Structure 1
Amino acid sequence: MSDHGQPPLFPPTRAEIESLALAALGRLPDPFRSHLFNVVLFVEEFADDQVLKEMGIDDPFGLTGLYSGRPVGEPAQTGDSPPTVHLFRRPLLDEWVETGVPLDVLITHVVVHEIGHHFGLSDLDMQVLEDMVSS
């Protein structure tokens, strides 16, 4: 995101966050990638108030990503919306600054976690998948 090792002058945009997320999705092993054709990715500034309320989260900076939809293998219902992954830019940037974790690594972590819900993976399975994508 920056040239010659210099820190960026401006925070990454939604488009830059989306680009990092799509790159992370592209590194998923094929058995997973082939089941993502109908998953829609959104990058928003924050989760909306309704989502935060439903999840019992008071601080809008407390949610970096969200998966919505039926996991792979569950039968679709008439009227189902496509599965979605939402990334929340401002909380991601806050976590990036607070932790010092490289932004691409942080976004990969959140993307793999949310996609893990699409596949019904356990936290341990998500960690194994993240290790595969990160190496």
Structure 2
Amino acid sequence: MGRPPDSLEEEREACERALRERPDDLELLLDAAELHVGRLQQEDGDRELLERGLALARRGAKRARAAGEPEWEGEFALQEARALAQLGLAGEALARAEAGLRLLPGDLDLALERGLALHELCRFEEARDALAAVVREEPGDALAHHALGLALERLGEPREAARHLARATRLAPDDFPPPVALSPADFEARVEEALAALPEPVRRYLENVVIQVEDLPAADELRAEDPPLSPSILGLFRGSPLGEKASADPWSHFPSAIVLFQRNLERFARDERELTDEIRVTLLHEVGHFLGLDEEELYRRGLD
């Protein structure tokens, strides 16, 4: 488990004070970047911290390059890749991980970040190969097993996928708890409850919107966007935002749809209560897209 949030905040503040005195200290810059970026620390994953960590890592990489320190530059590339990945910039994360591997060939942390980025970009065969190589070298890495399981699932290898996902749970049950598993009927009942709890004016807007549940997002649909959508997305709005449909649109006679992805939601939640809450939040998020809100507006409203 990670350190308590108060302790982490104190460490960050101490690093910032020290950096004001020693702004070019590579070790200090790396420590500060790591403290801001983190890994699997849900309480620390907010955007401002990640952006600060990314800025520190970029600053450190520039200083290391100027000083002719390739090993340090590779370590900063790792922090850049981690920050970019958590900010949803998988393409940039992949580029930084690969740049880091050119500096530090064989580094397993960078190899893992490369595999994770390939998976996010829906390059599932490449992700499988990259992550399998990490697992061979580091069989105790829970995150590598989890990501490999997800890639194998996408490639139609459910038994191998289940083996690696279960291994991740055994290695790190707090980070990768067993998914909440509901029957399709029970899951749809939770969705109906979430719909019923929406404000009445919002429900009126949704009268002509189909609400449906699917197991996982289709790979072709993910890849239809540039960059691709994350394979772990919890929901999706299909159609045109309210008021934007044009009569010339050949698809305009089809109803818009909000889709919730059951397996991703079940993996995201730690228990049934959290699953119920996340169904509600995801539904609201996709309603926001239907109403024409972009990702930045959804973030400001707490619906990201």
Interval of TM-score (by shorter of Structure 1 and Structure 2): 0.7 to 0.9
Give 5+ residue unaligned stretches, structure 2: 1-179
TM-score by length of 1: 0.73
Q: Tell me which residue corresponds to 2:264.
A: 91
Q: Does 1:108 align with 2:286?
A: no
Q: Does 1:17 align with 2:192?
A: no
Q: Which amino acid aligns with 1:86?
A: V
Q: Tell me which residue corresponds to 2:298.
A: 123
Give the 3 Å change call, closer, same or farther, for CA 57–69 of structure 1 in structure 2: closer
Give the 3 Å change call, closer, same or farther, for CA 101–26 of structure 1 in structure 2: closer
Give the 3 Å change call, closer, same or farther, for CA 24–100 of structure 1 in structure 2: closer
State the distance in 2 between where 1:108 and 1:57 align. Answer: 21
State the distance in 1 between where 2:218 and 2:255 align. Answer: 19
Q: CA-to-partner distance for each residue in 1:92-116, whole Å, 9 max, x for gaps?
A: 111013x886111010010100111
Give the 3 Å change call, closer, same or farther, for CA 125–22 of structure 1 in structure 2: farther
Q: CA-to-partner distance for each residue in 1:21-49, whole Å, 9 max, x for gaps?
A: 22112111121111111111111110111
Alignment length (residue pairs): 116
Q: How does 1:17-36 map to 2 (within 5 A)?
A: 17-36=187-206
Quote the offset at 1:79 in angstroms. Answer: 3.7
Moved more, 115-124 or 87-96: 115-124
Quote the offset at 1:57 in angstroms. Answer: 3.9
Q: CA-to-partner distance for each residue in 1:50-100, whole Å, 9 max, x for gaps?
A: 112124146x3x111000112122244354221101111111111013x88
State the distance in 2 between where 1:19 and 1:126 align. Answer: 26
State the distance in 1 between where 2:299 and 2:222 align. Answer: 26
Quote the offset at 1:14 in angstroms. Answer: 2.2
Quote the offset at 1:126 in angstroms. Answer: 4.7
Q: Tell me which residue corresponds to 2:221.
A: 51
Normalized per residue, the structure richer in helix is 2
Give 5+ residue unaligned stretches, structure 1: 1-9, 131-135
Q: Tell me which residue corresponds to 2:235.
A: 65
Question: Is the partner of 1:37 in helix, strand or coil?
Answer: helix
Greater C-alpha Rg: 2
Moved more, 12-21 or 99-108: 99-108
Question: Is the partner of 1:46 in helix, strand or coil?
Answer: coil
Does the aligned pair in 2 maintain the 1:112–1:126 contact within 8 Å?
no
- Over the residues paired in the alignment, what is the CA RMSD in angstroms? 2.4
Q: CA-to-partner distance for each residue in 1:112-131, whole Å, 9 max, x for gaps?
A: 0011111113215753xx7x
Identity of aligned residues (%): 31
State the distance in 2 between where 1:101 and 1:16 align. Answer: 13
Give the 3 Å change call, closer, same or farther, for CA 95–101 of structure 1 in structure 2: farther
TM-score by length of 2: 0.35
Question: Is the partner of 1:102 in helix, strand or coil?
Answer: helix
